[in-house]
Amino acid sequence: MSLLPFSESPFQLQLSFSLLLGNLEAQALNSDATGERARQLLQEARLYPELRTGITSAVQIENNKAFISRLLADYFPAALTLNEIKAVNIPYTDVFFNHTQRFQNILASAGPGFDLSIRDFDDHQSYVLSCCLILNEFYGTRLDFGRPLFYDIPTAEGITRHYRILYNADFLDILPTEKSRQLTQDDLHLLMDNYDDLALWKEMFPPESWILKGFAIMTLFDATVENAVSIFKEKLLGLHTEGFQDSVESIFRSIFRIPDLKIGFSIYNPEDGSFSAENFGQQIRSFILQNGGYTQAQDLLCSQSYNCLVKENSYFAVSNTADVLAAQPANLLAKRFLNQDIHSFILAPVIKNNVLLGVLEVVSSRPRELNTINANKLQVVMPFLTDTVERLVAQLQNEVQAVIQDRYTSIHRSVYWKFKEEAQKLIRRRFSGKNYVPKEIVFSDVYPLYGQVDIKGSSEARNASLQNDLKLQLTTLQALLQQVKQNTHTSLQPLLHQVKEYLAELSSPLKADTEQSVSTYIETAVHPVLKQLPLPAIQEYFKEANNNNGTFHVHRHKYETTVSQINETLADIIDDSQHQAQQLFPHYFERFKTDGVEHNLYIGPSIAPGQAFTMQKLYDLRLWQLQCLCRMEIAHQKLKPSLPYGLDVTTLILVYHSPIAIRFRMDEKRFDVDGSYNARFEIVKKRIDKAHVKNSHERITQAGKVTIVYSSEVEEEEYLGYIRNLQQQGLLQGIVEKLEVEDLQGISGLKALRVEITRQEI
């Protein structure tokens, strides 16, 4: 022990009893026993002048130890020495003496190497708070720096106890020295606004420029449970931090006073009645679920614990696991806990709004340490745990919703803000008790861009693959029926005749109902006959017929693989390129896979009201669209040699001159054009796909070329500029065809530009 502060301080410390001796001088004027005792103490105090002038060394304290104890007898009554935790102290220093016996016992239990220090109290805080004492005393400020201060002191068993520090500063005096500065009102204001500027505080209050004279009586209050709960609340906020398990176990050990107590937790899923550990972030183990995963509650719990936790939502405590297993040899919960060296335990349900959210597991390796009595200690922590688990469950639900929204709905990120805005209005009004009908989501004055890369001849390829598979199956059936007829002399002529007729029909172009007719006949007429004849050839036939990847589905599988690979390749290119496009200007984007990939884009000021929209943004996006579709065609040309069927694609862009409005249709969960006038855009989209060049039988779309459909000369000049740009990039060839599109139902005057796409990307 020294008489120096922990670190640099504005104070010179003088341990003095002058104020206490002054009180004794007043008492000495009395003629009663109190006065006589005071006079005797004052007489003896004359032998120790340093008690008034100031003790400057630890040796002086030790030499005056007995007399100091008598001097402080009124404040440290002998009858309470085993009850109170008190000592003489100078605040924020390590100067302690005249401890009560209980305080000495606590320090002895902590061990000789234990350093008593205030929790979370650094040199900066010590210096500034010392200055605040001066400000309040000499400048009349009311600076409230009185946050609770704690000592964390371990017991001999390793359990940490938490003690709150209370100071009685009646016997302290603050005095200036010649080094102290006189502060102005501006100085005070500056200090109040700059707690973190330690250099400023040292400038205003130079080290050792003031005297702190006297002593304080420090009393410790055992606030272990209350403080452990407070720490527990703090730890729950940092659930996913490293060391969470150890921190929580240390807190519960303090509460239960069990040095090796362990804590577990498992989430309960009321939808399917199962327990899981994963949803808690795997930051805390589960003793019920040793191996994690999901398991039904009835398979994990015994009947009594299931009834307590799941049905009655009450604690389940066992003081001796071995006794339970001896009485109930089939008790799986007891077996599982004994296998983990758990001999007493408490399972506490986490309940919110009468719904079981999870189970807290408190376990000990010794019998009788946990029981139905100390289970009641959990009442102080369960509300905070409940709130945390509820928050985690809500977060999980939000994450699930986010995944669903991202993957399975058409709410694009560019328009998500509008949906969020309406949802927040609804929630706020609901909290205030007011009804609110969310407005329809409409974006007006947006320019539409439509494009597609269509698989050419996909319908013909599908029909051909289907015909080939059906022909093979019917040919196989014809041979089987002939074999059965010869071996069994069964009359199968009607079946053979119909099979022959279907084979003849499949030699011609496929009709709309041929597939259904042939499949139905095979299933209802031919298969029942064959199933009655267990011949090896028939069994082999059914093996192939029932296999979707078998011989009778090989051509259809090739066709489906071809379409799937083309679609995936095309979709990946436009999806990846969307990041670049969104940088040009936020816009709504949707794409669809059919026999090829088509997309819609809508751009306008209503979609991104926080950004300045100009027509140049639209032009930039149109150029991006044309460039992207060219790259999609080129990627297909590279893919084509590896496809089961070498199908080509055609590329088409529709240029629409006027802005339109789009509305989110709640019934279909997607955007659509709004109003009959705007519907013309959708009509044009649907009808140009199979359109011909005017006065010819030639389609406006051709493999290896991009076709741009438009209606005005202004748009023609605009896209000729884009084409020249892409020709310079090497994406398009030199010849540009200018076409007139045939008149369609309700549509006339459309024109088209068609230009060949480079076969290999440069």
Give residue-wise pLDDT tens across range 554-575.
999 999 999 999 999 999 999 9
Residue-level pLDDT at 283: 63
Domains of the chain from N-terminus onward: 11-16+54-151+162-219 (no CATH), 226-397 (3.30.450.40), 458-553 (no CATH), 559-757 (no CATH)
pLDDT at 491 over 80: no
User: Do 344 and 368 meet the contact criterion of CB atoms below 8 Å apart?
Assistant: yes
Question: What residues does 602 pair with on adjacent strands?
Answer: 448, 588
Residue-level pLDDT at 451: 95
Residue showing tokens 């010590």: 126
Q: What's the sign of the alpha-carbon dihedral 69, 74, 78, 81?
A: negative
Can you tell me the distance from the alpha carbon of 610 to that of 316, in angstroms, rounded to the nearest whole number?
57
The two three-digit tokens of residue 711, written as one number: 């209606």
Can you tell me the distance from the alpha carbon of 98 to that of 62, in angstroms, rounded to the nearest whole number?
10
Cα 196-201-204 angle, rounded to 5 deg: 155
How far from chain centre, in Å, is Cα 450? 36
3 state SS of 482: helix
pLDDT at 626 over 90: yes
| Averaged pLDDT for residues 307-331 | 91
Q: Which of the four pLDDT bands, split at 50, 70 and 90, describes residue 723?
A: very high
CA dihedral of 207, 213, 217, 221, whole degrees rounded to 10: -20
| Averaged pLDDT for residues 342-350 | 91
| More confident position, 487 or 192 | 192
Residue-level pLDDT at 404: 47
Residue-level pLDDT at 603: 95
The amino acid at residue 339 is N
Lowest mean pLDDT among 164-178, 234-248, 433-447: 234-248
pLDDT at 367 over 50: yes
User: Do 3 and 57 meet the contact criterion of CB atoms below 8 Å apart?
Assistant: yes
Helix axes 615-639, 554-584, angle to 10 degrees: 150
The burial of 121, by beta-carbon neighbours within 10 Å (0-12 exposed, 13-18 middle, 19 or more buried), is given as middle
- 715-726 b/e (C-beta count within 10 Å ≥ 16 → b): bbebbeebbeeb
| Averaged pLDDT for residues 472-493 | 84
Rounded percentage of the chain residues whose pLDDT exceeds 90: 39
Residue-level pLDDT at 1: 43
Can you tell me the distance from the alpha carbon of 274 to that of 214, in angstroms, rounded to the nearest whole number?
65
Residue-level pLDDT at 632: 96
The secondary structure of the chain in percent helix, strand, coil, rounded to multiples of 5, reads: 45, 20, 35
Beta strands in 55-156, from DSSP E residues, in sequence order: 86-89, 96-97, 150-154
Q: Which of the four pLDDT bands, split at 50, 70 and 90, describes residue 721?
A: very high
How many residues make up the chain in this entry? 762
Average pLDDT, rounded, for the chain: 85
Comparing C-alpha atoms, which of 129, 130, 215, 224 is closest to residue 171?
215
| Averaged pLDDT for residues 115-130 | 86
User: Do 482 and 535 meet the contact criterion of CB atoms below 8 Å apart?
Assistant: no
| Averaged pLDDT for residues 324-329 | 92
Residue-level pLDDT at 540: 87
- What is the phi-psi region of residue 686: left when phi exceeds 0, alpha when psi lies from -120 to 50, beta otherwise? alpha
Q: Which of the four pLDDT bands, split at 50, 70 and 90, describes residue 762?
A: very low
| More confident position, 513 or 197 | 197
Residues with Cβ within 8 Å of 715's Cβ and at least 6 positions away in sequence, in order, are: 655, 657
pLDDT at 218 over 50: yes
Q: What's the sign of the alpha-carbon dihedral 486, 490, 491, 495?
A: negative
Q: Which tens digit of pLDDT belongs to each residue from 248-307?
A: 788 788 888 888 899 888 888 776 688 876 545 446 788 888 776 668 888 888 889 999
Q: Which tens digit of pLDDT belongs to each residue from 394-406?
A: 765 665 555 446 5
Q: What's the sign of the alpha-carbon dihedral 64, 65, 66, 69?
A: positive
The amino acid at residue 163 is Y
